[in-house]
Structure 1
Amino acid sequence: MADKKEISGDAGVLVIGLGRFGSSIAMTLARLGHDVLAAEKSPDLVAQWAGRVPVVEADATNPDALEQLGIRDYPVVVVGVGSFLEASVLVTGNLVDLGVPQIWAKAVSAEHGRILQRIGAHHVVFPEADAGNRVAHLVSGRLMDYFEVEDGFTVVKMRPPRETQGFTIEQSKIRERYGVTVIGVKPPGEDFIYATPTTRISANDLLVVSGHSELLERFASRP
């Protein structure tokens, strides 16, 4: 799998498919100032999004249509048609054949993801599975936000366990006892501050903590 590179401010991004995933990607990239073009096969979706993001009606399963879109001018392409397996594979295969440097493709299952990787997608994402995993962690404990970075390394926002309240991070020995690191603390009504050994934790604070997901779950389960 290719290394991820940052998108420069003037780089073009082509988003194929304007379902919930593709439209969210296109809108966010446009808001961030990137040059975005969306390609959508459905006339109804083209009409729905026209005026909100730059969009053209095109069938990306056809290599000629991609050529007409100027595909070689786009260093990054997002394939958001994951719910339609055949179309997803055809579009991704076309992009690989045309030499697109970065292909991000949505998958709806592990098998689908393996197929996309085998035909050459550089990055495969599982938005439904990722969202389900995140929500499961949020509803099962005191975690208020949960973001898995890679290979189990996770950053969470949580309420402080009772045993840490009123003590500094150094006094609480959170790292030594639980193997996780407090990155920042947010007192009520104030901005987040980077944590230091002398940062004192209060009952109403919010903590931003990093570490392996299993260790974070153990720490968050403390009363």
Structure 2
Amino acid sequence: MADNQQSRDSGVLVIGLGRFGAALAATLEKLGREVLAVEKDPELVQQWSHRLPLVEADATNPDALEQLGAEDFPVAVVGVGTSLEASVLITANLVDLEMPQIWAKAVSAEHGRILRRIGAHHVVYPEYDAGQRVAHMVSGRMLDYIEMEDGFAIVKMRPPRETQGFTVGESKIREKYGVTIIGVKPPGEPFEYATESTRIGAEDLLIVSGDTALLETFAHRP
């Protein structure tokens, strides 16, 4: 009993096993986090029952959440998004249980505003975020793109020709483009933090940070 309580104290309650919720729960499991998934659809329960700790329950019912001990978890994620009513009801139930951290999926700005208004601590927009991320990636040399806030981002990209064969210091990327090369990964070798003497090869991967507009300019260099 004590071990079970301890795992819940550091665990994550994931409600809804659609594409978003299932991917999130499975990834948390791989990262070694304790996870309990909640799903009301019997087909999804059958699909995931052998891969995740799972309870078949309707989380729109506050009694169901109380019975499975939801209040013992420090973090809950509402992965239900297609049904606005269900998403709002589940989030409201978690707020009533005074969950310390509630993350909720939204499918629109209006949906997100409602979730925040009723007490969700974090609202995520998977479809919008994925679309924005891919837009940056298809328009230049970027292979991955993470936007932080206030127009700041970190990207993984191929090196422009003007940097290939030169060190970071010789390339003068920060002076020319206002972005910072923070890491270089040669093929088959581990990632290394960049210094002025780090040489950039044509097949290397660069980790670059800076203002989103400046990164776009740098990523479009031939």
Which TM-score applies when normalising by structure 2? Answer: 0.93
SS in structure 1 at match of 2:77: strand
2:13–2:73 CA contact under 8 A, matched in 1: yes
Corresponding residue of 1:96: 95
Q: 1:191 aligns to what? A: 190
What secondary structure is seen at the aligned counterpart in 1 of 2:112? helix
Segments of 5+ residues of structure 1 without an aligned counterpart are: 1-7
Tell me which amino acid in the other structure corresponds to 1:26: A
Aligned mates of 2:210, 2:109 — CA distance in 1: 25
Contact preservation (8 Å) 1:10, 1:34: no
Is the contact between residue 10 and residue 35 of structure 1 (CA under 8 Å) also seen in structure 2? no
How far the C-alpha of 1:10 sits from its partner, in A, is 6.0
Amino acid at match of 1:70: G
Task: Work out whether residues 185 and 192 of structure 1, in 8 Å CA contact, stay in contact via their aligned partners in 2.
Answer: yes
Structure 1 stretches (4+) deviating beyond 4 angstroms? none
User: Structure 1 residue 114 and structure 2 residue 113: aligned?
Assistant: yes
CA deviation profile, 1:41-90 (whole Å, cap 9, x unmatched): 11111111111101111111111111101111111000000111110011
Post-superposition offset of 1:201: 1.6
| Residue type at the aligned position of 1:12 | G
Q: Please give the secondary structure, in 2, of the residue aligned with 1:211.
A: strand
For residue 56 of structure 2, what is the amino acid of its counterpart? E
For 1:203 and 1:36, locate their aligned partners in 2 and report how far apart those are by CA, in whole Å. 42
Alignment of 1:203 with 2:205, yes or no, is no
Count of residues in correspondence between the two structures: 216
Tell me: CA distance 1:169–1:209, structure 2 relative to 1, closer, same or farther (3 Å): same
Q: Which residue in the other structure is 1:72 paired with?
A: 71
Q: Percent identity?
A: 74
Match of 1:165 in 2: 164
Structure 1 vs Structure 2 CA RMSD: 1.5
Distance 2:150 2:165 in 1: 33
Match of 1:4 in 2: none
Q: How does 1:1-223 map to 2 (within 5 A)?
A: 11-223=10-222
Structure 1 counterpart SS, 2:148: strand
CA contact (8 A) 1:9 1:33 kept: no
Partner-residue secondary structure (3-state), 1:150: coil
- Offset of 1:145 from its aligned partner? 1.4
Helix, strand or coil at the partner of 1:210: strand
Write the distance in 2 (CA, Å) between the matches of 1:186 and 1:31.
Answer: 25
Contact 2:9–2:74, Cα closer than 8 Å, also in 1: no
Write out per-residue CA displacement over residues 162-206 of structure 1, whole angstroms, 9 at most, x where no aligned residue.
222222211211112211110111223322211001112222222
Give the partner amino acid of 2:149.
E
Instruction: Indicate how the Cα distance of structure 1 residues 11 and 107 shifts in structure 2: closer, same or farther if over 3 A, else same.
Output: same
- Give the partner amino acid of 1:206: L
In the alignment, residue 108 of structure 1 is paired with which amino acid?
Answer: V
Contact 1:143 1:220 in 2 (8 A): yes
SS across alignment from 1:198: coil
| Cα 1:186–1:52 shift into 2, 3 Å | same
Unaligned stretches of 5+ in structure 2?
1-6
Task: Work out the CA distance in 2 between the residues paired with 1:206 and 1:65.
Answer: 49
